[in-house]
Amino acid sequence: RRLARNPPVTLLERFHWHVRHHPSRILLRCRDQELSYGDLELWSNRAARVLSERLRLRAGDVVAAFLLNGAPYVWTWLALAKLRCPMACVNTNVRGPALRRAVEEAGAVAVIAS
């Protein structure tokens, strides 16, 4: 039903709804770390500010993410979504010419790596 709306509700909008209504509810468990909606809101806001100020990202700029699975991956995605920058996910096992081609084909203006 939500996707049938015009415009459809986005994941970022749903995330913000949960931040407002359930900020202390655990959203992510990674290894020995638990992060709530409020925690991820804080970290993603910090990341968005840094990415915006240091990389001068603008809405529509594609950013390649060369990140392992974990909390940084999630808050980086949220930060880029807040900046309206698509995230091109690059497999962390790719190396050499294949990695270069993946980044070029994505049209990335920046690469974020762990």
Q: What is the DSSP letter of 5?
A: S
**Are the CB atoms for 77 and 65 separated by under 8 Å?**
yes
| Residue 44 near residue 38 (C-beta atoms within 8 A) | no
Question: Structural domain boundaries of the chain?
Answer: 11-113
Question: Is-above-0.95 flag for pTM?
Answer: no
CATH topology of domain 11-113: Rossmann fold (3.40.50)
- The pLDDT value recorded for residue 8 is 75
Per residue of the chain (114 residues), give pLDDT as tens.
666 777 778 899 999 999 999 999 999 998 888 999 999 999 999 999 999 999 999 999 999 999 998 999 999 999 999 999 999 999 999 999 999 999 999 999 999 998
Q: How many CB atoms lie within 10 A of CB 88?
A: 18
